[in-house]
Structure 1
Amino acid sequence: MTITQLHYVLAVAEHKNFTLAAEKCFVTQPTLSMQIQKLEEELDVIIFDRSKKPISLTEVGEKIVTQAKNIVNEAGRIKDIVDQQKGYIGGEFKVGIIPTIMPTLLPMFLNNFIHKYPKVNLIIEENTTEEIITKLKNGHLDCAIAATPLEEESIKEIVLYYEPFVAYIPESNKNYNKKEIEINDLNDDNILLLQDGHCFRNGILNLCKNNKFLEEGGFHLESGSFETLIKLADEGLGVTLLPYLHTIDLNEKNKAKLRDFTDPKPAREVSLIYPKNELKIHIIEALRNTISGVIKGAIAFHDVEIISPKLK
């Protein structure tokens, strides 16, 4: 039994196709199939039911895959331990970031990180929270930045900062002249939201879950970016909520339409998340320290109420 064979088994278990698994492992399909067959012969079991389309795991195959993940992860820790011992911070490192955080946070820390840790080959992907969780569990990401808490047993979370929700109120709205607003002030408004699949959208739904207009279908749902939602609000179609960091670079005309909520301000918790096996923890710590260093000057809110990114 070899680590390589276990890698091949995990690839087929994930993709449910020998040809696709071989492509992902950068080997020919016959090579991959032969190695898996050798493993099955050594163990005297059938790991995959090849008669089904797509290919599926047998009962014993499911148990083997669970153990194979542990073995492959622990094998990866050997190099991790050596790198930490040598004080080496480098190599390929894959990070996932959710779409509502990527455009504001990434420019704040990326340049600093690249200059401080030039030997790290940072690969950054924009993923939904659901995609991030799956990729972390499958070993396709080393860590991610997402809204938390996620309450995933196999994933650790390190809080980076708390980002308040800010209301964008057009001049035509009755609440425009208020200096601060409360959640109940939105009762009679249509709220413009991001398309389904964004956890910021879920946070707003959870924020307003106790309001009667939610039950009465008072939401005006629109897909698109925050920029699109701002334009729709300016057209008189409703109000929208923005994450605080997204408001920093707005022009002065649009900033005049922003309204903070009264304390405690509704906010999202933004965390660095990674698998509990803690592979490449030295790079994770380096990333956390870099982000923490730049974010302190941008967000100084303390009296906040964390809104869950998961629909309740």
Structure 2
Amino acid sequence: MTITQLQYVLAVAEYKNFTLAAEKCFVTQPTLSMQIQKIEEELDIQIFDRSKKPIQLTEIGQKIVTQAKNIVNEADRIQDIVDLQKGFIGGEFRLGIIPTVMPTLLPMFLNNFIKKYPKVKLIIEELNTSEIITKLKNGHLDAAIAATPLQEEKIKEIVLYYEPFMVYVPENHAKFSKSELEVDDLNVDEILLLQDGHCFRDGILNLCKRNAQSHENKFQIESGSFETLIKLANEGLGITLLPYLHTLDLKESDSQKLKHFTEPKPAREISLIFPKNELKIHIIEALRQTISGVLRGAIAFQNVEIISPLHKK
């Protein structure tokens, strides 16, 4: 059997369809089917149960796919070893970034990175956390930037920075006169939230669940952007919470409505995450150094309490 044949097996296992798997592998469907059949004949077993729709792995097929992932990863590592030996940092690198980090962090480091490492072809996708985890596990991303900890056994996390939650309070609100807010000052029923699926939303809900004022999580409005939440707050529809880096770009009139929490400040942990097999680790490290360099001085909060991004019922 060959590495290519194993890659075909993994594609069919993922997409559960020979035609779609062939398209993703850039070969014809007959070619892919023939190569998989050769492996099955060589091993004298059936990897796939073709009688089911969609196609399913057989019991022995599940074990073979697990081993095939290890073999393909180790084969990819050979190129990593060669690149490291030559000091070469280049090639295609697929990076996922969560939506509440992308608009603020990406402009801070992207230009520096592509100038310093012109041979790296960055392919960047804006994805929510669940999509990132799935794509990392399936080998469709090399790394990602997300809120952590995620408690994923096969994913490694390197902390980039801690980003406090800021409270945006309109002038007509009862809490506007306070210079700093306690978590107990929050009433979850008046907080304007991002739409479901954003880990920043889940962090706010986790923060507010410790608050005795929280009731039945009845929210007036949910939006897909911080800008909309700010406008709604300015209309007197509630308050909202923002990540610290996002507040740096607010106009002066809106900046005056921001309130810090008292210490330890509730914050989210933003990390560079990647599979534990550490493929392309030289590019991952280059990315980490670049981001750390541009953030130095821009965000330096130490006395913080990390709020989990994981959804809690």
Bin of the TM-score, shorter chain as denominator length: over 0.9
- Cα deviation, residue 294, structure 1: 0.4
Using the alignment, how far apart are the partners of 1:238 and 1:130 within structure 2? 29
Q: Which residue of 2 aligns with 1:309?
A: 309
Would you say the 8 A contact 2:189–2:214 is kept in 1?
no
Give the aligned residue type for 2:87.
G
Using the alignment, how far apart are the partners of 1:33 and 1:220 within structure 2? 53
Q: Which residue of 2 aligns with 1:61?
A: 61
How does 1:30-45 map onto structure 2 within 5 Å? 30-45=30-45
Using the alignment, how far apart are the partners of 1:214 and 1:32 within structure 2? 56
- Cα deviation, residue 223, structure 1: 2.4
How does 1:113-262 map onto structure 2 within 5 Å? 113-187=113-187, 190-262=190-262
Using the alignment, how far apart are the partners of 2:203 and 2:190 within structure 1? 16
Using the alignment, how far apart are the partners of 2:236 and 2:61 within structure 1? 57
- Cα deviation, residue 188, structure 1: 7.2
Q: Which residue of 1 aligns with 2:269?
A: 269
Q: Which residue of 2 aligns with 1:89?
A: 89
Give the aligned residue type for 1:232.
L
Is the alpha carbon distance of 1:213 and 1:220 closer, same or farther for their aligned partners in structure 2, counting shifts above 3 Å?
A: farther
Would you say the 8 A contact 1:157–1:272 is kept in 2?
yes
- Cα deviation, residue 300, structure 1: 1.4
Give the aligned residue type for 1:261.
F
Using the alignment, how far apart are the partners of 2:157 and 2:257 within structure 1? 34
- Cα deviation, residue 172, structure 1: 1.1
Using the alignment, how far apart are the partners of 2:214 and 2:36 within structure 1? 53
Give the aligned residue type for 2:273.
I
Query: The residue matched to 2:209 in structure 1 has which SS?
Result: coil
Using the alignment, how far apart are the partners of 1:189 and 1:8 within structure 2? 51
How many residues of Structure 1 are paired with residues of Structure 2 in the alignment?
A: 312
Q: TM-score, normalised by structure 1?
A: 0.98
Describe the superposition over 1:102-137 as per-residue Cα deviations: whole angstroms up to 9, x where unpaired.
Answer: 000000000000000000011101111001101111
Describe the superposition over 1:171-194 as per-residue Cα deviations: whole angstroms up to 9, x where unpaired.
Answer: 111001111111111137501110
Would you say the 8 A contact 1:148–1:309 is kept in 2?
yes
- Cα deviation, residue 213, structure 1: 3.8
Q: TM-score, normalised by structure 2?
A: 0.98
Is the alpha carbon distance of 1:22 and 1:290 closer, same or farther for their aligned partners in structure 2, counting shifts above 3 Å?
A: same
- For structure 2, list consecutive stretches of 5 or more residues without a partner in the other structure: none
Would you say the 8 A contact 1:49–1:58 is kept in 2?
yes
CA-atom RMSD, angstroms? Answer: 1.0
Give the aligned residue type for 1:147.
A
Give the aligned residue type for 1:161.
Y
Q: Structure 1: which 4+ aligned runs deviate by more than 6 Å?
A: none
Using the alignment, how far apart are the partners of 1:167 and 1:265 within structure 2? 11
How does 1:7-18 map onto structure 2 within 5 Å? 7-18=7-18
Query: The residue matched to 2:223 in structure 1 has which SS?
Result: coil
Would you say the 8 A contact 1:189–1:239 is kept in 2?
no
- Cα deviation, residue 217, structure 1: 3.1
Describe the superposition over 1:188-237 as per-residue Cα deviations: whole angstroms up to 9, x where unpaired.
Answer: 75011100000000000001112234333354341220001111111111
Is the alpha carbon distance of 1:39 and 1:264 closer, same or farther for their aligned partners in structure 2, counting shifts above 3 Å?
A: same
Using the alignment, how far apart are the partners of 1:234 and 1:4 within structure 2? 57
Which has the larger displacement, 219-228 or 197-206? 219-228
Give the aligned residue type for 1:251.
K
Would you say the 8 A contact 1:213–1:219 is kept in 2?
no
Using the alignment, how far apart are the partners of 1:217 and 1:108 within structure 2? 35
Identical counterparts, % of pairs? 78
Describe the superposition over 1:42-91 as per-residue Cα deviations: whole angstroms up to 9, x where unpaired.
Answer: 01010111111111101001000000000000000000000001100000
Is the alpha carbon distance of 1:188 and 1:118 closer, same or farther for their aligned partners in structure 2, counting shifts above 3 Å?
A: closer
Using the alignment, how far apart are the partners of 1:213 and 1:19 within structure 2? 55
Using the alignment, how far apart are the partners of 1:5 and 1:218 within structure 2? 53
Query: The residue matched to 2:41 in structure 1 has which SS?
Result: helix
Give the aligned residue type for 2:89.
I
